Chain A
Amino acid sequence: MNKDFYISLIAKKLSNELNAAELKDLSTWLSGDKVNDLSLNQFKKTWDLTQDYKSSLSFDAGTAFQSFASKYEIPTAPKIANIEPKSKVGVKRYVLIFALLMLTSAFVGSLIFNNYFKNSNSNNVSNTEMHAQTFALNDAINITVAPNSRFEKGVYTIQRKDSDVNNGQSATNASKLNNSVGSSSNVASNTNVGSSTNAQRNTKFQSNTNVGSSTNAQSNTDAGSNTNAGSSTDNYSVENFYGQGYFDVNVPNGMKAAKIEIEDNRYIETENATFNLQNYEEDDFSVIDVQTGSVKFVAGENILNVTEGQRLIYNEKSGTYKTVKLPELNPFQWHKGVLVFDNTPLDVAFTNIERFFGVNINVADNSSFDNKNFTATLYKASNLNDCLELLSESVDMKIERLNERDIQITEIK
């Protein structure tokens, strides 16, 4: 027998794989020569040394869990005990996460949306509730809108990718239509667009009075086949969006990307993505956070691709932009009714509360905001009062709810 054979037996011995015959064989070989016995000892030492392989690598389970919970949108449990009043001097960290289950189901949201449109003569949609609302806009787009956010309903146009030459024309026409929803001339325009090619799949609403009626949505037989549109109760696009919205876009196979107009010459196109759009009037910038898929953001001459895990910050005034990684703090949780503060500066926290609940927070004296942050965990706080109560327990300040929507904060120490 050659030496390799016995090394194999040694390996088996170390792995507890030897059978009786092999053990006998190995024992004979080892006792035959001291060198062999030495050899076994050396292999044994080698075997023992390997036990340290990656053994002292450390993994921070706490931090990893935060990342895990954020990534997979798992509600984190409360740690109310961690919230302590702040002293006047020094910086303390406060932990406060408000997990609020406030959303109605997409089905209920859709019903509300329908009723809203059916009873309204306006193109404007505004979430006046104190919680987010989810709407199914059309076959391809679901949107969750934060309180005090608004947009205008437009014409939803979806086209096949293979509608080549006519596409440009159609797109142009569709764009014109989008800008003139509600006017009587839309009817003619729609007819023209739709009749240019049978390959197109156009779904449109011609006037305000028709909006919300699926029958009308499908009555434009010239618009080619409405098979894709036919399965949807509502067919609207988004235009002039202000506030915050979480979009879930899934365009049927073979169709062109859906277009979401933000304002002026800015819009988003995507075929398949979930993303968050912040476009508050009081801010100089728009923020797009892409959770899955990718989107194309167009602002005048700028065409920017934003992919999964990226945040685009676009400065409307200067026309500049930058793309960064998504922040560690999950920017998508709000649409599920979860509000998170993690070492968040107090002024930012107030803004987040305002936007989450659709309220106004008036701070009498903001000079003592400096170095006051929140980091934290709270589970299932169900409403604004709970939120304010916890806030007052966490920070030395006076909070007064003047009415349903107005909150006065004074004496921050």
Chain B
Amino acid sequence: MNYTDAELLEVFTQDGSKGIELIFKQYYEVMCRTAIRITKERSLAEDIVQEVFYELYKKREGLKIQSLVGYLKRAVYNRSINKVKGRKDHVDADEMAYELTDNMNNSQDDMEYGELETFINSVIDSLPEKCRLVFVLNRFEQLSYKEVAAKLDISVKTVENQMSKALKKLRAEFENYKYLEKILDEDRGILSE
């Protein structure tokens, strides 16, 4: 059962522990998706989301929120971005050579996916970090180029370049994927004859 933000906040104000349980169960999954798109790591994403819920719980007295989901989303992606920025490899990530990582089909997460989804995840995950962040924030968090630039402390021009770069690379990889699929289908056809 889904509650409106107003209902959730009303319960939360009256009974912090009951309220946080309802809020948590309603928004946990969607917040985790937001976080994992930014961090790539499931456990880190879940930790971040739990931290955000705990922060909310701690601030329950005197809390003034208009949009609960807006507040949570903002908190989750701010915290996620900070974590990613804090990674050691972040500074040089953009300079890293672009190549498909070998994480395809490796992680437990990916086992839950179909083949194409696994591929999509791998391709986006393997984009250089800044490029991936720019793409994710714009594509999934609906941030404008200007907002992405402000969030990541880069210029709008850099955002434009990174978006263009991301799109080109993704397209190239998907073309390769389609080509490989075709070859595999042909092989299967030969084997079945």
Q: State the A residues within 8 Å of B (CB).
A: 4, 7-8, 10-12, 14-15, 17, 42-43, 45-47, 49-59, 61-62, 64-65, 67-69, 71-72, 74-77
Q: Are B120 and A11 in contact (CB under 8 A)?
A: no
A53 in contact with B120 given A15-B163, A64-B50 (CB within 8 Å): yes
Which residues of the other chain, A, contact B33 by a CB distance below 8 angstroms? 54-55, 57, 59
| A225, B139: Cα distance in complex, Å | 63
Q: State the B residues within 8 Å of A (CB).
A: 15, 17-18, 20-21, 24-26, 28-29, 32-33, 36-37, 42, 46, 50, 53-54, 57, 109, 112-113, 116-117, 120-121, 124, 135-136, 138-140, 144-145, 160-161, 163-164, 166-168, 170-171, 174-175
Q: Are A59 and B46 in contact (CB under 8 A)?
A: yes
- Closest Cβ–Cβ distance, residue B24 to chain A (whole Å): 5
Closest to B50 in A: A68
| A7, B169: Cα distance in complex, Å | 11
- Closest Cβ–Cβ distance, residue B103 to chain A (whole Å): 13
Q: Are B54 and A72 in contact (CB under 8 A)?
A: yes
Selected contact of B164 from candidates A11, A52, A64, CB within 8 Å: A11
Q: Are B42 and A57 in contact (CB under 8 A)?
A: yes
Q: Are A54 and B37 in contact (CB under 8 A)?
A: yes
Which residues of the other chain, A, contact B167 by a CB distance below 8 angstroms? 7, 10-11, 14, 43, 46-47
A59 in contact with B121 given A7-B167, A8-B164 (CB within 8 Å): no
| A53, B113: Cα distance in complex, Å | 10
Which residues of the other chain, B, contact A49 by a CB distance below 8 angstroms? 116, 120, 170, 174
Q: Are A8 and B124 in contact (CB under 8 A)?
A: no
Closest to A39 in B: B171
Q: Are A56 and B164 in contact (CB under 8 A)?
A: no
Q: Are B113 and A17 in contact (CB under 8 A)?
A: no
Q: Are A17 and B171 in contact (CB under 8 A)?
A: no
Which residues of the other chain, A, contact B140 by a CB distance below 8 angstroms? 53
Q: Are B29 and A61 in contact (CB under 8 A)?
A: yes
| A297, B109: Cα distance in complex, Å | 38
Selected contact of A11 from candidates B53, B117, B163, B175, CB within 8 Å: B163
Q: Are A72 and B42 in contact (CB under 8 A)?
A: no
- Closest Cβ–Cβ distance, residue B57 to chain A (whole Å): 6
Closest to B136 in A: A53
Closest to A46 in B: B171
- Determine the main DSSP class of B at the interface with A: helix
Which residues of the other chain, A, contact B57 by a CB distance below 8 angstroms? 72, 74
Which residues of the other chain, B, contact A58 by a CB distance below 8 angstroms? 29, 112
8 A-B residue pairs with Cβ-Cβ distance under 8 Å, sorted by A, are A12-B160, A46-B171, A46-B174, A51-B139, A53-B120, A53-B124, A53-B139, A76-B21
| A61, B29: Cα distance in complex, Å | 6
Q: Are B139 and A50 in contact (CB under 8 A)?
A: yes
Q: Are B53 and A17 in contact (CB under 8 A)?
A: no
Q: Are B170 and A64 in contact (CB under 8 A)?
A: no
A77 in contact with B17 given A11-B167, A14-B167, A46-B167 (CB within 8 Å): yes
A8 in contact with B112 given A46-B171, A56-B117, A57-B33 (CB within 8 Å): no
| A43, B170: Cα distance in complex, Å | 9
Q: Are B171 and A43 in contact (CB under 8 A)?
A: yes
| A54, B50: Cα distance in complex, Å | 19
| A12, B117: Cα distance in complex, Å | 24
- Closest Cβ–Cβ distance, residue A41 to chain B (whole Å): 11
Q: Are A65 and B24 in contact (CB under 8 A)?
A: yes
- Closest Cβ–Cβ distance, residue A81 to chain B (whole Å): 15
Selected contact of A52 from candidates B117, B144, B145, CB within 8 Å: B117
| A55, B28: Cα distance in complex, Å | 14
Which residues of the other chain, A, contact B50 by a CB distance below 8 angstroms? 64, 67-68, 71-72
Which residues of the other chain, B, contact A62 by a CB distance below 8 angstroms? 25
Closest to B164 in A: A8
Q: Are A68 and B29 in contact (CB under 8 A)?
A: no
Interface centre among B24, B37, B57 (most CB of A within 10 A): B24
Q: Are B164 and A4 in contact (CB under 8 A)?
A: yes
A59 in contact with B29 given A50-B124, A53-B120 (CB within 8 Å): yes
| A221, B96: Cα distance in complex, Å | 65
Which residues of the other chain, A, contact B164 by a CB distance below 8 angstroms? 4, 7-8, 11
A54 in contact with B112 given A7-B164, A15-B163, A43-B171 (CB within 8 Å): no
- Closest Cβ–Cβ distance, residue B51 to chain A (whole Å): 9
Interface centre among B18, B139, B166, B171 (most CB of A within 10 A): B171
